[in-house]
Amino acid sequence: MSFPQTRLRRLRVTPAVRALVRETDVHSARLLQPLFVRHGRRLRRPIASMPGQFQLSVDELLKEATALREVGVPGVLLFGIPDRKDDRASGAYDPKGIVPTAVRALKRELPDLLVICDVCLCEYTSHGHCGVVRRGNIANDPTLKLLARAAVVYADAGADFVAPSDMMDGRVGAIRAALDRAGFHQTGILSYAAKFASAFYGPFREAAENAPRFGDRRAYQMDAANRREALREVALDVEEGADIVMVKPALAYLDVIHAVRERFDVPVAAYNVSGEYAMVKAAATQSWLDEKTVALEILTAIHRAGADIIFTYWAREATGWLRTEPRPRPPDKS
């Protein structure tokens, strides 16, 4: 049947009908907020390239996390900015380092807030690369031991999930084995399985102070052109024991998210990265875009593509927006 019997506009006539037939509902239970934590007290340093985001000291992090919990954000992803960097990334696996300190504080104050720790060396190495450097190359296997050490330290501090974002081969297996050896059978691995070498991470480099001092990350992060290779990456991570797999960035990679969702039966996450956020913020400042509507459209698209879980710098605001979305109202009494 086609026109005039079929009129698809019938399903769009009112907010109530539209809500009834909506196929994708972003729910705040699926939105997680990345946070940046550093040493100090009463620090709330704005990140210029990411308006509305801050580097926080642990006391301020607790306030932020409490506010997030109150509006209904289920969890946070932690990035640490250490005081000192060295070529072995010691700050990444120091039990007294910034991330384990923050995790212990969060778990003490807000035990039911999910705490996910990014596991990578780039914030902690003097050269800014995600692994140890040997003869100008990022050495894969020696890096695995350090990543596994960091994961165990975060698990010991109370992290619910560790999230390796380094893109070394074999890291999920190495981390799973180390966690199990240390008795952390319940600590999950959310792997950045298909992480692309992307210019959309630009603003994050200011936030996490992790820009590489030489070269770029193309010898370990994926080439933007490759979807089949992304599926191989995911397959390997699942085999090595990843509980949740992530695609990153999200917006320019919706087809990859979709392909991963179709092929695998594990929960799929996507990372709505710093550049995706900064672009909208910048345009909104000029009144070229309406931030709220665009952000919700983006999150809906990422979810529609197949991501069950979304990391987004809008988690807190979006949770508020979703609660106040226009809903069908009872008719006026008058």
Active site residue 248: yes
Q: Which is nearer to ligand PBG, 50 or 65 (CB)?
A: 50
How many other CB atoms are found less than 10 A from the CB of residue 301? Answer: 17
Encoded one letter per residue, x for contact with ligand PBG by CB under 6 A and - for no contact, window 270-309 reads: ---xx-----------------------------------
Assess 165 for contact with ligand PBG (CB under 6 A). yes
Our CB check for ligand PBG shows the closer of 182 and 224 to be 224
Catalytic residue among 63, 248, 281, 333: 248
Nearer to ligand PBG, 165 or 319 (CB): 165
d(CA 122, CA 132): 9
Q: Which of 73, 105, 120, 257 binds ligand PBG (CB under 6 A)?
A: 120
Say whether 195 is catalytic: yes
Q: How many contiguous H segments (helices) and E segments (strands) does the chain have?
A: 11, 12
Closest CB 33 distance from ligand PBG, rounded Å = 12
- Interatomic CA distance for residues 285 and 291, integer angstroms: 9
23 versus 76: smaller Cβ distance to ligand PBG: 76
Question: Using CB under 6 A, which of 122, 222, 244, 309 touches ligand PBG?
Answer: 122
Provide the 10 A C-beta neighbour count for residue 64: 17
* In the complex, least distance from residue 22 CB atom to ligand PBG, rounded to whole angstroms: 28
Question: Contact region for ligand PBG (CB under 6 A) — 7-15, 115-123, 237-245, 289-297?
Answer: 115-123
Rounded CA gap, 294 and 267, in Å? 25
Interface map 12-51 toward ligand PBG (x if CB under 6 A): ----------------------------------------
Q: Which of 63, 85, 107, 195 is catalytic?
A: 195
- Count of alpha carbons within 13 angstroms of residue 297, beta-carbon side: 8
Q: Does the bond joining 249 to the residue before it have cis omega, within 30 degrees of 0?
A: yes
Distance in angstroms (rounded) separating the CA atoms of residues 227 and 292: 30
Site membership for ligand PBG, residue 130 (CB under 6 A): yes
Q: Rounded CA gap, 35 and 76, in Å?
A: 7
Alpha helices in 165-246 (DSSP H): 171-181, 202-208, 227-240
Instruction: Indicate the residue among 94 and 276 with the shorter CB distance to ligand PBG.
Output: 276
The number of CA neighbours under 13 Å toward the Cβ of 128 is: 13
What sign does the dihedral 104-43-161-147 (CA atoms) show? negative
* Closer residue to ligand PBG (CB): 275 or 306: 275
Question: Does residue 201 interact with ligand PBG by CB under 6 A?
Answer: yes
Q: What is the b/e burial string over 157-181, where b = at least 16 CB atoms within 10 angstroms of the residue's CB?
A: bbbbbbbbbbbbeebbbbbbebbee
Kindly indicate which of the ranges 93-101, 116-124, 173-181, 225-233 contains the residues binding ligand PBG, using the contact rule CB under 6 A. 116-124
How many other C-beta atoms are found inside a 10 Å radius of the C-beta of residue 46?
11
Tokens of 147: 């990543």
The nearest distance, CB 31 to ligand PBG, in angstroms, is: 14
Q: Are 174 and 149 a contacting pair, CB within 8 Å?
A: no
Q: Which residues of this protein are in contact with ligand PBG, per CB under 6 A?
A: 118, 120, 122, 130, 165, 201, 204, 217, 273-274
Q: Catalytic residues, which ones?
A: 195, 248
